[in-house]
Chains A and B, each alone.
Chain A
Amino acid sequence: DARVTQTPRHKVTEMGQEVTMRCQPILGHNTVFWYRQTMMQGLELLAYFRNRAPLDDSGMPKDRFSAEMPDATLATLKIQPSEPRDSAVYFCASGPSVIGADTQYFGPGTRLTVL
């Protein structure tokens, strides 16, 4: 049963610390998305990649956030330095190469708390 995996599942850190979240997309999927979910803002798209190339990161605060795909099996989202307002659940999702609306499979999320 193929699924998207994310680590860590939970992260508590102090303001100013670096946070790295990792995602392993479903094998064979070539599109990877990072979302952030909060009660106030809902589900926001931060960035996405196709074939490891960043296509859109307009939803991401550039000064502190960075997203990369060092290889086809790993996507990372880094926050440096972290701030309390970054507290949220961060979801990674992946999709196969065929374009279709039902092609995003979400990981379980990383719940980040910045104190």
Chain B
Amino acid sequence: GQSLEQPSEVTAVEGAIVQINCTYQTSGFYGLSWYQQHDGGAPTFLSYNALDGLEETGRFSSFLSRSDSYGYLLLQELQMKDSASYFCAVYRTDKLIFGTGTRLQVFP
């Protein structure tokens, strides 16, 4: 089977650092992606890890460890606009299988 588990909600204050974890039970995938979705909006791509290790894109970083079946999204210097839902997804053949999603609330 395939399942990706994420915490349902995370809260933090502006300027802080937050880590959103994703644990999965699947195999044979090309990589792990992260998508951001604001309330009422569509998912938008944030990052992708094809290999184990850390990928950095500005304030956001993503990490993958295939041996641990684990990944995370790290958001630094949090801003109010980062309040949104974040989804991890494994990329298999031509399709994405999405995790349960984590709602991030950033407070002033």
Chain A interface (Cβ < 8 Å from any Cβ of B): 31, 33, 42-45, 48, 50, 55-56, 91, 95, 99-102, 104-109
Contact = CB atoms under 8 A, between A and B. Distances in A.
Contacts of A107: 42
Interface of B: 30-33, 41-45, 48, 50, 87, 91, 94-101
Contacts of A50: 94
Contact of A106 (B32, B33, B43, B94): B43
B contact patch SS: strand
A55 B94 contact: yes
Contact of A91 (B31, B43, B48): B43
Nearest to A95: B94
B42 A106 contact: yes
Contact of B87 (A43, A45, A56, A99): A43
Given A42-B98, A55-B94, A102-B33, 17 more contacts: A33-B95, A42-B99, A42-B101, A45-B96, A48-B95, A50-B94, A56-B95, A91-B42, A91-B43, A101-B45, A101-B48, A101-B96, A102-B48, A104-B45, A105-B45, A108-B41, A109-B42
Contacts of A109: 42
Contacts of A106: 42-44
A108 B40 CA distance: 9
Nearest to B29: A101
Most chain B C-beta atoms within 10 Å of own C-beta, residue among A50, A101, A107: A101
Contact of B101 (A43, A45, A99): A43
Contacts of B44: 106
Contact of B100 (A31, A42, A45): A42
In the complex, the 9 A-B pairs of residues with the closest C-beta atoms, listed nearest first: A106-B42, A101-B48, A43-B98, A101-B91, A101-B33, A102-B45, A101-B31, A106-B43, A102-B48
